[in-house]
């Protein structure tokens, strides 16, 4: 049984975690807004410059050359924007993952203490049931750790694929730009 002090401490810890995660979520949103404002400002400036360049074109050949010269930087900027967006998302998600893992570790520790307490107070002759209970807890913890490792591996693979995709898109844009 938990005492009133333990319950209050638990609720306090949960509220602190909630406020901490809320602050991290807002920080992620702030970074996203900042990224979008910077991208919008840059796009507006580039649009003005490109319009001026297009207005100074003298023939169709020059217009095609201008169009080709704009394609590569656009692909590179799109890849950079996507990378920044991905970094913000993974950073914010990482903070939530850390908090979740910390809460889970605390809950596992608390449950293990509860099982140990129950085992030490178990009546004589229940050793086999206690051993089975401890085995089940250990198996559940091992399964949870396996899932965490699989999620981490999947996340690492997704990041690797994202990086390869961004590099491929930039390389393709460079190749296409040179062909024109």
Mean pLDDT across 110-121:
75
Q: What is d(CA 119, CA 135) in angstroms, rounded to the nearest whole number?
A: 12
DSSP readout, 97-120?
Answer: HHHHHHHHHHHHHHHHHHHHHHHH
> What pLDDT sits at residue 178?
62
Q: Which two tokens stand for residue 131?
A: 């051993």
Q: Residue 137: is its pLDDT beyond 80?
A: no
Query: In 3-state terms, what secondary structure has residue 94?
Result: helix
Mean pLDDT across 76-104:
86
Q: What is d(CA 61, CA 70) in angstroms, rounded to the nearest whole number?
A: 14
Question: Does the predicted model carry a pTM greater than 0.75?
Answer: no
Q: What is d(CA 126, CA 119) in angstroms, rounded to the nearest whole number?
A: 9
For the chain, give the percent of residues with pLDDT over 90: 17
DSSP readout, 122-179?
Answer: SPTT-HHHHHHHHHHHHHHHHHHHHHHHHHHHHHHHHHHHHHHHHHHHHHHHHHHHHH
Are 129 and 169 in contact by the 8 Å Cβ rule? The answer is: no
- Three-state SS for 44-67 is HHHHHHHHHHHHCCCCHHHHHHHH
> What pLDDT sits at residue 45?
94
């Amino acid at each position: 049984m938990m005492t009133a002090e333990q319950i209050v401490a638990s609720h306090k810890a949960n509220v602190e975690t909630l406020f901490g995660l809320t602050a991290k979520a807002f920080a992620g949103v702030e970074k996203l807004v900042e990224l979008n404002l910077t991208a919008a400002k840059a796009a507006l400036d580039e649009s003005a410059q490109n319009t001026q360049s297009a207005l100074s074109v003298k023939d169709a050949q020059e217009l095609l050359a201008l169009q080709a010269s704009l394609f590569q930087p656009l692909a590179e900027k799109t890849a950079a924007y996507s990378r920044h967006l991905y970094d913000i998302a993974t950073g914010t998600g990482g903070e939530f993952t850390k908090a979740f893992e910390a809460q889970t570790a605390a809950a596992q520790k608390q449950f293990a203490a509860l099982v140990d307490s129950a085992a030490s107070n178990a009546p004589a002759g229940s050793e086999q049931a206690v051993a089975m209970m401890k085995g089940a807890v250990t198996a559940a913890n091992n399964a949870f750790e396996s899932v965490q490792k699989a999620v981490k591996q999947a996340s690492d693979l997704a990041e690797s694929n994202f990086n390869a995709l961004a590099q491929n898109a930039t390389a393709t844009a460079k190749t296409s730009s040179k062909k024109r």
